[in-house]
């Protein structure tokens, strides 16, 4: 693994840790206080963006910047698995709820993240090949 890829992988691991921490601590009062009229929407938007960012970071770390499927598949699998595992853990926490919709929104965010990575990688790759 190249040094730059290690940096992106460290960023992905750090972001995953942030997701895990916020996935197991009680956050309902914070969400209620900051978005009292839009709790559901803000929670789902947060889930989507967390996993969108995670999938992009993992894609950059594992991909070769040409949009090949290896990095995308790894990113999607890891991000969706993390989201499902956190929701499973939340089922055992008295102050959290395990919700299937969260898993679906996490997966949608991850899928959009890898899709954006793939498109941007292909565009950048085409521009580089034109310059050569």
- Per the listing, tokens 């890898």 go with 114
Grade residue 1 by pLDDT with cuts at 50, 70 and 90: low
Query: Domains in the chain: how many in total?
Result: 1
Q: List pLDDT tens digits, range 7-43.
A: 999 999 999 999 999 999 998 777 777 777 788 888 8
Neighbours of 48 (CB within 10 A): 19
Structural domain span for residue 40: 3-131
Percent of the chain residues past pLDDT 70, beyond the cut: 93
Cβ contact 63:121 at 8 Å: yes
Q: Rounded to the nearest 5°, which phi and psi values hold at 94?
A: -65, -20
Residue 65 has what pLDDT? 55
Q: pTM value?
A: 0.88
- The answer to whether 83 touches 51, Cβ cutoff 8 Å, is yes
Residue 129 CA to residue 42 CA, distance in Å, equals 41
């Amino acid at each position: 693994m190249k040094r730059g890829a290690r940096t992106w992988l460290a960023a992905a691991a750090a972001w995953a840790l942030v997701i895990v921490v916020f996935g197991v601590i009680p956050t309902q009062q914070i969400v209620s206080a900051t978005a009292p009229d839009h709790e559901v929407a803000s929670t789902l938007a947060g889930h989507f963006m967390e996993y969108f960012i995670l999938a992009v970071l993992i894609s950059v770390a594992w991909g070769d910047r040409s949009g090949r499927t290896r990095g995308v598949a790894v990113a999607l699998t890891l991000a969706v698995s993390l989201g499902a595992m956190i929701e499973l853990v939340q089922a055992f926490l008295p102050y959290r709820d395990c919700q299937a919709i969260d898993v679906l929104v996490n997966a949608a965010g991850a899928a959009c993240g890898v899709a954006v990575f793939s498109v941007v990688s292909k565009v950048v790759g085409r521009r580089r090949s034109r310059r050569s």
